[in-house]
Structure 1
């Protein structure tokens, strides 16, 4: 099965790239510039494609962020600190982001004769992002079957949709993922901040997976307080 992977350059998608490559299934990497403030992640996606020897497609949707306003990822809004599964993190939603990107990726896959499009959405995303939930991925897969009926047979592969971030770290480690060559932080600074939701989730995932975290953080210990605060708040 030839699989086109939607890859941000983050831990999840780069890990999935290495998993697919280890299975001989990765055919190309597709990334998107949608005007995200942390667009440095795209350098990591490009490096992943080069490392794994597959074509890299960078789709310019740079005007999208301005059109889909109101997100801290695209507007001049502060990225909040704290645990990912907090109400404050909803400001990082870019409406319909995955629906738009996956639609483009399916077109690229169909045009190049691929049989699948993969995305690394996972259970930890469900609280905040509606277009990472199983209800969305199931419906999107059905829509694409109709959209390409009679032209191409391309399926949606979301192997982590019911799994945790720690599970992804475990799978990525088994496939030899160079975790230091991934970028998660939404603030897009010189180093991972260690305080935003995606940094906290990343740090916690390595801890739960019992895998050494090679990431350099500006605040490497903040995650513990954030996790503890979330546990109290959710009790």
Structure 2
């Protein structure tokens, strides 16, 4: 069976991307990163729960401590407040420098080891909150780079099945595929009840509202 490395954070987008990979006939190799994010333990729980739901055989949990050393992002530096006043133009303080580039580089190494032919990543241009490493242009460039920097017989595709979808379309597609969205976690701030007001919670709640679905995870504030 053909194999795909799926970068799986435990969030809604990466979970749907992983289910799409499985439904496309790939054996899923699940790859998760602990990079010092505020909700690291909660995301790891979601990752493990989702791997069970997907019946994943090959699992990688990789620690990347230097992101916390670098700081500069509200996701990894607890001296910086996570913004809760709505999405604004520009690159937000929750951007982790070149995170997806580093994730894709490590995923490439795993894919080459495992003999995989694809890497799935759940980037979304519309709701990337201004993150520069969530665009088609960036992904296309990375795909060229990783194929130059690997063995001649390694031919990897980076597949981004959600990149042009709205959050409402993502929720609807997940419902169609029976994705257990109640196992996923999106909040930037909290690990018990989602805050409901950070950028990620706002986008998630908007997607559920626009698709006329109910989000089953607990929220502090979903106004």
TM range (shorter): over 0.9
Report the Cα distance in structure 2 between the residues aligned to 1:32 and 1:99, rounded to whole angstroms: 13
1:22 aligns with 2:17: no
Normalized against structure 2, the TM-score is what?
0.92
Task: Name the count of aligned residue pairs.
Answer: 219
Normalized against structure 1, the TM-score is what?
0.88
> What does the per-residue CA deviation read over 1:102-152, in whole Å, with 9 as the maximum and x for residues that have no partner?
100011011101110000001234451000011101111111111124141
Report the Cα distance in structure 1 between the residues aligned to 2:39 and 2:197, rounded to whole angstroms: 15
User: What is the alpha-carbon root mean square deviation over aligned residues?
Assistant: 1.6
> What does the per-residue CA deviation read over 1:63-110, in whole Å, with 9 as the maximum and x for residues that have no partner?
32212x2100000211011333x1487000100000001100011011
Q: What is the correspondence of 1:1-235 to structure 2 with a 5 Å cutoff?
A: 1-39=2-40, 40-54=42-56, 55-67=58-70, 69-76=71-78, 77-84=80-87, 86-87=88-89, 90-221=92-223
**Deviation for aligned residue 1:193:** 0.6
Aligned-partner SS, 1:12: helix
* Change in CA separation of 1:66 and 1:83 when aligned onto 2, cut-off 3 Å: same
**Deviation for aligned residue 1:21:** 2.1
> What does the per-residue CA deviation read over 1:144-182, in whole Å, with 9 as the maximum and x for residues that have no partner?
111124141111001111221222111111110111100
Q: Which runs of 5+ in 1 are unaligned?
A: 222-235
Q: Judge conservation of contact 2:8–2:15 (CA < 8 Å) in 1.
A: yes
Q: Which has the higher helix share?
A: 1
* Change in CA separation of 1:136 and 1:183 when aligned onto 2, cut-off 3 Å: same
Q: Judge conservation of contact 1:123–1:165 (CA < 8 Å) in 2.
A: no
Aligned-partner SS, 1:198: helix
Report the Cα distance in structure 1 between the residues aligned to 2:91 and 2:193, rounded to whole angstroms: 20
Report the Cα distance in structure 1 between the residues aligned to 2:191 and 2:37, rounded to whole angstroms: 13
**Deviation for aligned residue 1:16:** 1.6
